[in-house]
Amino acid sequence: MTYDEFVQAVEEKMKKEMTGNVRVSVYTAQKYNGTLRKGLLFREHENNVSPTIYLEEYYRQYRCGKPVELAVREIAELYREIRFQEPWEDELLRNYANLKEKIVYRLIHREKNKVILNEMPYIPYLDLAIVFYVLLEAGPYGTAAMPVKTEHLRLWRVTAQQVYEQACENTERLLPYEFRTMCSVIAELTDMNDTGEDDVLYVLSNHLRSFGAAALLYQGRLEEVGEYLGEDYYVLPSSVHEVIVIRKSAASGKEFLSGVVKEINETQVEREEVLSNRAYYYDRARKRLNM
């Protein structure tokens, strides 16, 4: 069964699984870096927040022997966990004063996202773009967010600079940063003991590890990292969700590191989660991150 056939099979069974006023349909979304993803869109009557659950991981499990019926039950359970209990009133979404405390920023690659950036306000940063979202909800299953588009600026009568300044105030407050050794992160993910030996590689993200590469923008954060390390350092954009920090004294040079990042992006990172193929360098004297 191909992925498209799997999606269709899950859709048919999910329609029988869902009761009441829930409608299920296949939805194809334009994601970052020109990626298209197909999943199931769940709509409820009188609820204007409709989550989409993507099925790639369920398909991988199906290929490993998991029955489609079990995947359907798990997806239905996940939907019940993440669904919004109450709709967002349209008037609230139209009023900037109601939303401005929830506006946050994300970092994406500028050149690879030219199509979606045609419809979104953004601020250039290195070879990246700072884009904006209204963070409707954040929890253990991820985030529910509405992209801020150019049409919203006209509706709200604000500028991209005003939205950026508001996002600077909100993002670190709503999504606090996390700076840890690579060893401690791996130990957590693998349920192993942290040996505490790693003082070369560090991971910078936010506490949800969702679009945490934006922690690069938190005021004074890069300077604090430099003070902690006691030297200049390189930043490897491992994905939109986090970056890796490596001491200058432990690195092999920017060109080599850029090659490592490019290879990892091509072999280990989902296309839509790639941030950049270039390593960055933080100069403590200038307090600046350079390409």
- SS3 for 180-238 is EEHHHHHHHHHCCCCCCCCCCEEEEEECCCCCHHHHHHCCCHHHHHHHHHCCCEEEEEE
CB-based contact 25:51 (threshold 8 Å): no
pLDDT of residue 41: 92
Query: pLDDT value at position 115?
Result: 93
Q: What is the DSSP letter of 113?
A: G
Pair (248, 201) in one structural domain: yes
Q: What percentage of the chain reaches a pLDDT higher than 70?
A: 92
Calpha distance 35→19 (Å, rounded): 32
Residue 22 backbone dihedrals phi, psi, to 5 degrees: -90, 125
Is 200 exposed, middle or buried (CB count within 10 Å of its CB: 0-12, 13-18, 19+)? Answer: middle
Question: What digits encode the pLDDT tens for the residues 15-70?
Answer: 998 877 889 999 998 899 999 999 999 988 766 677 889 999 999 999 999 999 99
How many CB atoms neighbour CB 156 within 10 A?
18
Same domain (yes/no): 56, 119:
no
Inter-helix orientation angle 68-82/3-17, to 10°: 60
Given this model, what pLDDT does residue 82 score? 76
Which of 149, 174, 199 delimits the end of a domain? 174
Instruction: Tell me the helix, strand and coil percentages in the chain, rounded to 5.
Output: 45, 30, 30
CA 58, distance to chain mean position in Å, is 20
Distance, C-alpha 227 to centroid of its chain: 27
- Residue at 209: amino acid letter: R
Note whether 167 and 182 are same-domain residues.
no
- What pTM did the predictor assign? 0.86
- Verify that 127 and 160 share a domain, yes or no: yes
15 and 97 in a single domain? The answer is no
Please provide the average confidence, as pLDDT, over all residues in the chain. 89
Q: How many domains are there within the chain?
A: 3
Residues 101, 146 share a domain = yes
Shared domain check, 126 and 78: no
* Domain that includes residue 68, residue range: 3-82
pLDDT at 69: 94
Q: What is the CA radius of gyration of the chain?
A: 21
Q: What average pLDDT does the segment 226-240 reach?
A: 95
Which backbone phi and psi does 248 adopt, to 5 degrees?
Answer: -60, -40
- The phi-psi region of residue 215 (left if phi > 0; otherwise alpha if psi is between -120 and 50; otherwise beta) is alpha
134 and 220 part of one domain: no
**Among 42, 61, 82, residue at a domain's last position:** 82
120, 181 contact by CB (below 8 A): no
Express each pLDDT in 97-124 by its tens digit. Answer: 989 999 999 999 999 999 999 999 999 9
Listed ranges 85-99, 111-125, 193-207; the one with the highest mean pLDDT: 111-125
Residues 187, 263, single domain; the answer is: yes
Quick check: helix, strand or coil at residue 49? coil
Tokens for 212? Answer: 């945490």
Q: Is the domain of 210 the same as that of 261? A: yes
Considering 140, 174, 208, which residue would you say is the last residue of a domain? 174
Same domain, 112 and 52: no
- Together in a domain, 160 and 69: no
